Amino acid sequence: MARVQKLRTRNHKVVLNRSVGGDLGITIFLVILGAFMFLPMYYAIIQSLKPLDELWAYPPKFYVVKPTGNNFALMFKTLTDSWVPFSRYIFNTVLISVAGTFGNLVCGSLAAYAVSKIKFPGRKLLSDLVTYSLMFHPTVAGIVNFMTMSKLGWVDTYLAIIIPAWGSTLGMFLMKQFMESSVADTVLESARLDGASEFRTYWTIAMPMVKPAWLTLIVYSFKDLWNTGSSIYIMSEQLKTFNYAIQQIVSGGIARAGVATAAAVVMMVVPVTVFIITQSNIIETMSTSGMKD
């Protein structure tokens, strides 16, 4: 460059150009947006801890004077008194979430490994299909799926929820991308030369290298299944989920804000806790999520 730049340095390192005004503006923007994001969550938790008289206090308050666990107790009591025992709803949700996630992990990781690491005819097509599937919402498949389910006799069984989850694409896509960038072909090649079968290479070499992607797939699959509410495939009350039961309490008008928010908070705690534990792994996986044109 013709013009000599005056570089700011600190400890012999170039300091990036950051204006104070910009920092301030960004901070203000983040604080306002953060408040918008955080306040409803905060308010839900506060509301779930309010005793009855504070719930109905006028004007409504943004804090709680005497926190109580009554709303939670009342929610569990309402659920226990319902026709189907409360434990059954939880059992259903846990069963669906665990079976669906496990199957998605097994099927998805095998396919991700094959598509990203074995050079077979058709891999491009399969890979493109997965990418295209991310471009539309699964609702469009709903009508035909209902007919398929009835042909298979899966309507009103757990299978109608569990099996389609095994073929869900987001987790598989993220795992495929992660394998492409994090598992070196040379490592796999030397394993193959040593006589390891593809299954062995997959299990002992590739899979241990992509643990963050496992966790990401598990988190997304689990989150989706955990939030399964009412489904058109399930009619029997005994097979319905925790989320469905909670929605019934909320809309049933048994008790207004208190119990309903307690229920929503219970639903929220599980996925949020899972995310807190796995955050660094998810971000690591996401760093390879990109698509080439």
Partner 1 sequence: MSTETIAERQTAKKPVSRKDMTMFQWTIKEMKRNYIAYIMCFPFFFIFTLFTVGPVVLSLFYSFTIFNLIESPQIVFFDNYIRLFVDDDVFLTAVSNTFVFAVITGPVSYFLSLFVAWFINELPPKIRAVVTLIFYAPSISGGIYMIWQVFFDSDSYGYANYVLLRLGIITEPIAWFKNADYVMPLCIVVALWTSLGVSFLSFIGGLQTVSKDQFEAGAVDGIRNRWQELWFITLPNMKPQLLFGAIMSITQSFGFGAIVTALAGFPSVNYAAHTIMHHLEDYGGQRFEVSYASAIAFILFCIMIGANLLVKKVLSKVGQ
Shortest approach of partner 1 to residue 99 CB, angstroms?
13
Shortest approach of partner 1 to residue 266 CB, angstroms?
10
Q: Which is nearer to partner 1, 87 or 132 (CB)?
A: 132
Shortest approach of partner 1 to residue 86 CB, angstroms?
18
Shortest approach of partner 1 to residue 134 CB, angstroms?
5
Q: Which is nearer to partner 1, 88 or 222 (CB)?
A: 222
Question: Phi then psi for 24, rounded to 5 degrees?
Answer: -65, -50
Q: Which two tokens stand for residue 125?
A: 């097509």
Shortest approach of partner 1 to residue 175 CB, angstroms?
11
Helix, strand, coil percent content, the chain, rounded in steps of 5: 70, 0, 30
**What is d(CA 264, CA 246) in angstroms, rounded to the nearest whole number?**
8
Q: Which is nearer to partner 1, 74 or 163 (CB)?
A: 163
The residue behind tokens 């409803």 is 40
Which burial class, exposed, middle or buried, applies to 86 when counting CB atoms under 10 A from its CB (0-12, 13-18, 19+)? middle
Residues in the chain: 293
Q: Which is nearer to partner 1, 106 or 254 (CB)?
A: 106
Q: Which is nearer to partner 1, 98 or 141 (CB)?
A: 141
Q: In the chain, at which residue ranges do the beta strands (DSSP E only) sit?
A: 9-10, 13-14
Nearest Cα to Cα of residue 274 among 232, 227, 228, 240: 227
Element (H, E) at 183: none
Shortest approach of partner 1 to residue 195 CB, angstroms?
9
Q: Which is nearer to partner 1, 101 or 288 (CB)?
A: 288
